[in-house]
Amino acid sequence: MRNHEAERMQGIPFSNIRAIFEEVDRLKAQGRQIVPFHIGRPDFDTPQHIKEAAKAALERGLTAYTSNYGLPELRQAIADSLAAHNGLQVDPERQIIVTVGANEAVLLAMLATLNPGDEVLIPDPMWLHYFYCAQLAGAQVVSVPLRAEQGWQLDPDDVARRITPRTRMVVLNSPHNPTGAVYPRETFAAIAELVEQHDLLLLSDEIYQKLRFDGVEHVSPGALAQIAERTITVDGFSKTYAMTGWRLGYVVASPLLIDSMVRVHQYTTVCATSFAQAGAVAALRGSQACVTAMVEEFDRRRELVVAAFADLPGGLQPPQGAFYAFPAIPANRTAQEWARELLREHGVAVVPGDAFGSAGEGYVRLSYACSRADVQRGLAALRESYLRSLTP
């Protein structure tokens, strides 16, 4: 048989992070205990009141397709939450689509707005999903380097220097995966200027917005009047409410952009799972004490991570949000080498930084969303390995 793979698939590899999952599964099958620093998934179960709401929805027969846009009561709850916490005033009937995870939201946004040959500016290191969704849409990704010595903050001048007549979109993700950086208001203001001046779109992925530490502010660029109609806001329930398997996210944009995106959604997933959406209503409308408790626990683990790297030569920029840290690796290893060594010799799974783009070489990402005992065991092993690498 000839090769039936579409040309558009040829630059799309199997996810690097998934490859690590498979190696971990192999080792576990051999009886090894692995510290799962590679997984970006809260170790908590979904809060009970959210599960009860989904169960009750099933019992009352909420089992058919919903509107393509999502359950009206969920869209209203999302609009109310955006108004209360993000300063965004949106029409729940025309400006929101509930999606199968934020993953689908990003794909809809890119397929609906990008043409072959368009350029998309993305800070590097990045969550690679943006890269491959842009590629599926036929667009070119232009990396904007982030630097550890600048706290992994985005320098708007680096964005400005890369804008060409073909630039169509800028992607921002704050709090940031994989570095944990949170961008301040001035960064968004400067990017908004560029986006408006060059007639661009801004895709803002805010999935970690509730997971912040030390009182840092979260800014939603969709609330900046100047670029409100050019901003596509993406968020979801996976991280904030420990609902990764529920596959629920949403996209918020101008009615015109939503109109294009919903047509992609109609021909792909149709709607997010009906009774799962009822759970999401309970997540937004119910007590937020579960979120506060999770953030407090993540913060305690974050402190352990920061302390573990404090006296190591490469250092670690203290993360301000999400549940990731992006420390420097021993100088005499590549990220892939150190990640492999940590997994095979110490049973600690991390993601090599270059899996997030070329600016991630020299770093690894560790997720401290696993149990505190695992965090402690994993950090001890990382330190031991790092210190051993310093002795000739």
Ligand X SMILES: Cc1ncc(COP(=O)(O)O)c(C=O)c1O
Pick from 119, 124, 205, 297: which binds ligand X (CB under 6 A)?
A: 205
The residue from 36, 40, 70, 378 that contacts ligand X (CB under 6 A) is 40
What crossing angle do the helices spanning 335-346 and 16-29 adopt, rounded to 10°? 20
User: Which of 20, 133, 172, 207 is the binder for ligand X (CB under 6 A)?
Assistant: 207
Q: How many residues bind ligand X (CB under 6 A)?
A: 13
Cβ neighbours, 10 Å, residue 198: 14
Contact 180, 322 (CB under 8 A): yes
Closest residue by Cα to residue 137 from 249, 16, 266, 264:
264
| Residues 230-249 as x/- pattern, contact with ligand X by CB under 6 A | ------x-x-----x----x
> Does residue 365 contact residue 27 with C-beta atoms inside 8 Å?
no
Torsion of CA 52, 53, 59, 61, to 10 degrees: -160
Residue type, 376: Q
d(CA 58, CA 61): 5
| Minimal distance, residue 18 CB to ligand X, in Å | 12
Site string for ligand X, 328-357 (x = CB under 6 A): ------------------------------
Residue facing ligand X at closest CB distance: 101
Q: Does 320 bind ligand X (CB under 6 A)?
A: no
Distance of CA 154 to the CA centre of its chain: 16
Under rule CB under 6 A, residue 173 binds ligand X? yes
For ligand X, the closer of residues 66 and 177 by Cβ is 177
Question: Are residues 174 and 219 in contact, defined by beta-carbon separation less than 8 angstroms?
Answer: yes
Alpha helices (H) along the chain: 16-29, 48-59, 72-81, 101-113, 129-136, 156-161, 185-197, 255-266, 274-285, 289-309, 335-346, 372-390
Choices 24-32, 74-82, 98-106, 192-200 (CB under 6 A): range interacting with ligand X: 98-106
Residue 101 lies near ligand X (rule: CB under 6 A): yes
Among positions 46, 66, 153, 177, the unique one binding ligand X when judged by CB under 6 A: 177
Q: Find the shortest distance in angstroms from Cβ 211 to ligand X.
A: 11
**What is residue 316's DSSP assignment?**
-
Instruction: Indicate the SS3 state at residue 87.
Output: coil
Residues 115-134 that bind ligand X (CB under 6 A): 127
Among 46, 86, 95, 103, binds ligand X (CB under 6 A): 103
Please, which residue, 102 or 224, has the CB nearer to ligand X? 102
* Beta bridge partner(s), residue 123: 144
Residue 368 burial class via C-beta count within 10 angstroms: exposed 0-12, middle 13-18, buried 19 and up = buried
- Residue closer to ligand X (CB basis): 77 or 207: 207
For ligand X, the closer CB: 330 or 352 = 352
* Contact between 368 and ligand X per CB under 6 A: no
CB of 61 to ligand X, least distance (A): 26
Instruction: Assess 273 for contact with ligand X (CB under 6 A).
Output: no
- Site residues, ligand X (CB under 6 A): 40, 101-103, 127, 173, 177, 205, 207, 236, 238, 244, 249
